[in-house]
Structure 1
């Protein structure tokens, strides 16, 4: 049997880099353009410019106020505190419905993971209620809970529960069998098995479900407030603010209310969910 041939080792001396070959740092403009917030800011400024041009060409403030007029109305709403007060009322109701929806989704998915009856229950309920728009349940909610925050919380739970439960259960089903076996070998069962094995492994799907549930809940809340508005002593949230100003033909304030809805959505996305992803799934190498 012949011995394997071994390549002889050798070293190769490389010539030093010339001045033309030395890597030069990128110019400041290129380094700035690599920042995501710079590119997004430029896009927003371009869209604002297009809005201003379209409004001036339309020349009808009742139908389409200019970006400058909307910015002034937005600033006045912030200065007076009305926009912040209305936004605070909406977010307080949203938080209650969102947390209750998360809790209900966790209970359903835990049951579905543990028992066959739980899986059948989750499949049946999601098939029945997930296609049903949350705002369509508002008349029923008004009959059951009256004109108040209870009706809003009811439709918010519906809007959060089903997409989050579907995403979470899908994430649980995609957990590798190796991790499942490791959890069972450690004697984990029931709730401890879900918390220590399934939840960390399925976290990308869970975070995606949380983001989808937040978006559904936020737009459902604004739509519900537009329908019946007030929740307490004639005071309503952002949806009621938009509805009132539409009735009074203050179109610039209507657009200011819509801008506040967008700003809150951007802040929640960039400060809450991006931070959550960076601290968990990206840090753990589960997501790029």
Structure 2
């Protein structure tokens, strides 16, 4: 005998879910959180803290000849800008730097293009970077003096050396990191070696290339200042390095710090304005960096 259990209707359970309140996502950010999101503002705060530490240490030491305070340095810096001396010296340094940096980047582009086009080129680049990249540019100063004399040519030579290998090494590393699939796509479209580099490899490896450009810039800037400290005068004109050297000889320590302050300021502007703008328009816009 078939007996079926009668189906008893169950009362539906209704959950009383409260409507979402003005939830966390909709809640406006506090003033602190809104300001904290700006990386530029965070960096300004860090610089302000460092300046305060500098000022406090200078006041505690109380020896302007040994370590001027931040306010004394800024006063000397403003005076140098108003007199036009610092701007003139910075113009001389930047002119030499741009020439040397351009030569170095062009040489790196040629070397990496040759390296990516053939195995012999790869061996050549790897051998040259292994030989010359560890060699400090400052060690070439005596040879530069013999070959190019006392002047701009010697400075350009050592700065090109500091730029060339750093940019070439990072660029070549970026090219080698590009997937074989992308290379095969370019080859299937009939791209030759140079077209493959320009249309496939450079966009795909641009984060590594930009890193190399940044490193090359930093090496070039510090090498230039060091070279000018030694033989930075040609035709009666010297750059920021020579300005620092002259004031050190005259025991004008505040001016020495003002020159160093200007070197740092130019470095900050290039890094956080020029390279940051390139990064926003390329890497971040292409979704290659968050």
Distance 1:19 1:52 in 2: 47
**Are residues 1:101 and 2:101 paired?**
no
Give the superposition deviation at 1:147.
1.0
Distance 2:240 2:125 in 1: 34
- What TM-score, normalized by structure 2, do the two folds share? 0.92
Question: Where in structure 2 are the equivalents of 1:186-201 lying within 5 Å?
Answer: 186-201=189-204
- 1:75-100 CA-to-partner distances (Å, cap 9, x unmatched) read 11111111111111100000000000
Which of 91, 94, 100 is the matching residue for 2:94?
91
Determine if contact 2:151/2:232 at 8 Å carries over to the other structure. Answer: no
- 2:264 alignment counterpart: 262
Give the superposition deviation at 1:268.
0.3
Give the superposition deviation at 1:67.
0.8
The answer for unaligned runs of 5 or more in structure 2 is 1-14
Distance 2:164 2:22 in 1: 62
Give the superposition deviation at 1:22.
8.7
- 2:185 alignment counterpart: 182
- What TM-score, normalized by structure 1, do the two folds share? 0.92
- 1:168-219 CA-to-partner distances (Å, cap 9, x unmatched) read 1110101011100000001001211111111111100000000000000000
Give the superposition deviation at 1:16.
2.9
- 1:233-283 CA-to-partner distances (Å, cap 9, x unmatched) read 221000000000000000000000000000000000111111111100111
The answer for unaligned runs of 5 or more in structure 1 is 1-11
Which of 141, 148, 164 is the matching residue for 1:138?
141
Which of 247, 272, 275 is the matching residue for 2:274?
272
- 1:114-161 CA-to-partner distances (Å, cap 9, x unmatched) read 111111111111111000001111111111111111111111110000
- 1:164 alignment counterpart: 167
Give the superposition deviation at 1:20.
8.5
Question: RMSD of the alignment, in Å?
Answer: 1.7
User: What SS does the corresponding residue of 1:42 show, helix, strand or coil?
Assistant: helix
Distance 1:18 1:40 in 2: 36
**Are residues 1:248 and 2:264 paired?**
no
Distance 1:270 1:13 in 2: 53
Question: Where in structure 2 are the equivalents of 1:1-288 lying within 5 Å?
Answer: 15-18=18-21, 23-231=26-234, 233-288=235-290
